[in-house]
Amino acid sequence: MLQQPSFSYYQNTEVTRPGSYAEVTTIAFAPVMQPNNAIGFIPVKVPIPQKVTLGPIIGKVTHSTARVLVQFAQYGFATLSLVASDGKTIHCQRQVIANRPTVFEFTGLESNTVYKVVSAYKFQCSSSFKTLSQGSAPLRVAFVSCNSRRSYNQYNDTNKSLG
């Protein structure tokens, strides 16, 4: 009976794609003790951990949708999540290509809510955004000037530029 491997020796790296799932694995040979006390080696596939190389970058945000761009170092599947301040979580999973930006599109978001982007992968910085409100906001216009009537009356227009 074979025992659990005690350590791994990395020999080569390969990309396997069973179906639509892609993962990067390394073939390792683990030593095992066989029943006759001889040492044997069995091949073991060891997944290489995913690394974020760019992002997350917040893209177009509406009252119910948002886009987030992230780039990963290896092929595979990645899942990003948005966590609202009330704890509600929305997930989006995409197949990613190594060193190519991938856009994660989230739908069904609540309007006027702050969401934080989280993932199982370590980001360089944290990202969050606020969805737009559903209705239109009232238009407010303000005009500010440093001119006053008193300074206009005291101005000596020798070139007749003011008419």
Q: Which residues contact 57 (CB under 8 A, 6 or more apart)?
A: 68, 69, 70, 127
Distance CA(58)–CA(129), nearest Å, equals 7
- Entry pTM: 0.57
Going by pLDDT thresholds of 50, 70 and 90, the confidence category of residue 147 is low
CATH 2.60.40.10 in the chain is located at 52-129
Please tell me the CATH superfamily of domain 52-129, with its number: Immunoglobulins (2.60.40.10)
- Reading the block at residue 134, the tokens are 């559903």
Which of 47, 8, 7 shows the shortest CA–CA distance to 26?
Answer: 47
- Whether cis (ω within 30° of 0) applies to the bond prior to 43 is no
pLDDT at residue number 79: 86
Going by pLDDT thresholds of 50, 70 and 90, the confidence category of residue 102 is very high
With a cut of 70, say whether residue 16 has pLDDT above it.
no
Q: 37-54 pLDDT, tens per residue?
A: 777 777 777 666 778 888
